Amino acid sequence: MTAAQRFEAFIGAGGSLAMLAEIDPQDIGALYAEGNRCFAAGDMARAQSLYYLVVSLDAWDYGGWLALGICHQRAARHSEALFCFAKAALLRWRDPQPPFLASYSYLMKGNRRFACKALRAAIRWSKRDSRSAELHRTAVAALARIEDPSQSKD
């Protein structure tokens, strides 16, 4: 087996560049925290770069994928945001946040059908988790507005 084949097998079996390079998970956490600091300060470009570095080093980092998706969404790069939210959803498939966030990007891309599907998924998962009560209420209201535009407050 060649080195390239061994690398492909390692990554295919769930390995990450961080594991391969023996990068301390705390160092990846520090990159993520710095990304959060930049995001809070409004430096979206730097935050996005740091989150991208996090998910490049550890493709299993849920928070990195979610944060990177939010950066893309804020920059109106909705296809990229949807990709990130899909990755996050694969890592925590019962978490209502990825589909909830994805619903906005679907709507911005003009795909009401998928926005509704995403909101229904968020509603389904958020009703099972008391910590997601606010997200649940927001998703229910958003779905009602999309399905019946006459309910909009505008």
What is the rounded average pLDDT of the residues 113-137?
94
pLDDT of residue 24: 80
What CA–CA distances, in Å, run from 128 to 88, 91, 93, 135?
19, 18, 13, 12
- Domains of the chain listed by start with CATH number: 1-77 (1.25.40.10), 94-154 (no CATH)
Q: What percent of the chain has pLDDT over 90?
A: 71
**pLDDT tier at 27, thresholds 50, 70, 90:** confident
Q: Residue 1: its pLDDT value, please? A: 80
Q: How confident is the model at residue 28 (pLDDT cuts 50, 70, 90)?
A: confident
pLDDT at 154: 47
Q: pLDDT confidence of 19, banded at 50, 70, 90?
A: low
Residue 24 has a CB neighbour count (10 Å cut-off) of 9
pLDDT tens by residue, 65-91: 999 999 999 999 999 999 999 999 999
In contact, 102 and 93? CB cutoff 8 Å: no
The pLDDT assigned to 15 comes to 62
Which string of b and e fits 70-88 if b means at least 16 CB within 10 Å?
A: bbbbeeebbebbbbbbebb
Predicted local confidence at residue 87, as pLDDT = 96
